[in-house]
């Protein structure tokens, strides 16, 4: 699998589910750097001169002299005339001190400023990585989420005592963030993932996994999301206590990830899955 494909997948899953990640530890590895190589433009080729050559008529005596043979021109390799690519090094912060760096880079990202309104501003990398690790198992962390609460309650209509129907207006609460996520530019996501990758791998190793296994975890999380079935409406709920539960036990018994995505509504779920599938199709 091409590295860029992995980057693209990783980037989209991270940005897509930043809003829907945990612990800070004291030990930190030395600062790391990420090198981005910028290509040098092709050297300019001189255009042929439009001036006519000058003809010189020599005297007979001059013509009698033996011709002077010019030494062969020194062969110059085009490769020798092109400077080596310029490497730009970006110094990454320590994981414990990475929030300001991450927030700044996300703000420069196309659509990133809107995304930031949904995100918490502390331990973003750790929470995102923990969230991804949970997604691979179909679970959602009970705390330490990287996104803020939506702020509006679910909209229901009471059908009978403690028996409700979820209204489609509940799904529109998520339209703005979903539209932002599916509008992300894929090449930008690749670059963003390359930049954050060392930090994310370090956070993943804190969970007890190999740093090299992080890309595989991202792929597993994406596959898990794409496999969720969007439920047909209407969705019926019960409220035995303070929390709403799905009246259909087949839905209520699903993994937490499935139930979370179902709350987004069929349209939003299908849009997110379509975006992820388009990334997979490029591999």
So what's the pLDDT on residue 252?
Answer: 95
Question: What is the pLDDT averaged over residues 107-117?
Answer: 87
Average pLDDT of the segment spanning 151-157:
85
Q: Choose between 12 and 173: higher pLDDT.
A: 173
pLDDT at residue 23 is higher than 90 = no
CA 64 → CA 55, 59, 142, 235, distances in Å?
18, 9, 101, 106
Residue showing tokens 């050297």? 43
- The Cα–Cα gap between 283 and 281 comes to 6
pLDDT of residue 233: 85
Exposure string of 163-176, with b = 16+ CB inside 10 Å and e = fewer, is ebebeeebbebbee
In the structure encoding, which two tokens stand for residue 125, read together? 């990398």
Confidence label for 103 from pLDDT (cuts 50, 70 and 90): very high
Per-residue pLDDT at 17 exceeds 70: no
Confidence of residue 276 (pLDDT cuts 50, 70, 90): confident
Residue 131: inside a domain: yes
Per-residue pLDDT at 53 = 43
Of 273, 175, 176, the closest CA to residue 221 belongs to 273
Helices (H), the chain: 3-16, 60-64, 78-81, 99-108, 112-116, 124-135, 175-182, 186-206, 214-226, 249-252, 256-262, 266-280
* Ramachandran sector of residue 171 (left: φ over 0; alpha: ψ -120 to 50; beta: rest): alpha
Report the SS3 class of residue 35. Answer: strand
Least confident of 16-20, 129-133, 247-251: 16-20
pLDDT of residue 49: 46
> Is there a domain that residue 188 lies in?
yes
What pLDDT score was predicted for residue 97?
96
In-domain check, residue 115: yes
pTM for the full model?
Answer: 0.68
- What pLDDT, on a 0 to 100 scale, did the predictor assign at position 63? 43
* C-alpha R_g of the chain: 30
Residue 122: which domain range?
3-38+85-151+170-231+266-280
What average pLDDT does the segment 149-170 reach? 89
CA distance 163 to 160: 5
Which residue carries 């679970």 as its tokens? 139
The stretch 109-124 carries a mean pLDDT of 89
Q: Provide φ and ψ at 260, rounded to 5°.
A: -65, -45
Q: What is the pLDDT of residue 44?
A: 45
Kindly state whether residue 50 falls inside one of the protein's structural domains: no
Distance CA 113, CA 203 (A): 24
The answer to whether residue 51 is domain-embedded is no
Q: Give the relative orientation of helices 266-280 and 175-182 as an angle to the nearest 10 degrees.
A: 10
Contact 110, 184 (CB under 8 A): yes
- In this predicted model, which residue has the larger pLDDT, 161 or 3? 161
Provide the percentage of residues in the chain whose pLDDT is more than 90.
Answer: 43
Q: What is the mean pLDDT of the chain?
A: 77
Query: What pLDDT, on a 0 to 100 scale, did the predictor assign at position 55?
Result: 38
| Residue 199 binned pLDDT confidence (cut-offs 50, 70, 90) | very high
Average pLDDT over residues 126-141: 96
Please state, in angstroms and as integers, the Cα–Cα distance from residue 192 to each residue in 2, 15, 45, following that order.
Answer: 17, 10, 35
Q: Count of domains in the chain?
A: 1
Euclidean distance between CA atoms 223 and 283, whole angstroms:
14
**Residue 90 maps to a domain:** yes
> For residue 62, is it within any domain?
no
User: At residue 9, does pLDDT exceed 80?
Assistant: no
Domain assignment present for 136: yes
Q: Which residue has the higher pLDDT, 236 or 110?
A: 236
């Amino acid at each position: 699998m091409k590295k860029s494909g992995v980057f693209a997948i990783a980037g989209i899953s991270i940005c897509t589910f930043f809003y829907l990640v945990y612990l800070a530890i004291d030990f930190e590895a030395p600062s790391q750097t990420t090198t981005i190589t910028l290509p040098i433009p092709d050297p300019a080729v001189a255009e042929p001169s439009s001036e006519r050559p000058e003809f010189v008529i020599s005297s007979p005596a001059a013509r009698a002299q033996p011709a002077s043979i010019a030494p062969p021109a020194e062969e110059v390799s085009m490769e020798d005339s092109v400077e080596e690519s310029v490497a730009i090094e970006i110094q990454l912060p320590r994981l414990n001190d990475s929030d300001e760096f991450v927030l700044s880079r996300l703000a420069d990202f196309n659509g990133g400023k809107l995304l930031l309104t949904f995100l918490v501003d502390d331990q973003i990398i750790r929470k995102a990585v923990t969230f991804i690790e949970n997604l691979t198992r179909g679970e959602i962390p009970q705390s330490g989420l990287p996104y803020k609460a939506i702020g509006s309650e679910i909209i229901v209509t009471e059908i009978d005592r403690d028996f409700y129907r979820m209204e489609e207006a509940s799904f529109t609460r998520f339209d703005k963030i979903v539209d932002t996520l599916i509008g992300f530019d894929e090449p930008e996501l690749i670059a963003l993932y390359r930049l954050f990758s060392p930090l994310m791998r370090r956070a993943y190793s804190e969970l007890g996994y190999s740093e090299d296994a992080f890309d595989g975890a991202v792929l597993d999380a994406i596959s898990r999301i794409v496999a969720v079935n969007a439920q047909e409406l209407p969705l019926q709920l019960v409220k035995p206590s303070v929390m709403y539960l799905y009246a259909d036990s087949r839905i209520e018994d699903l993994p937490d990830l499935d139930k979370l995505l179902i709350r987004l509504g069929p349209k939003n779920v299908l849009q997110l899955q379509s975006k992820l599938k388009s990334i997979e199709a490029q591999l």
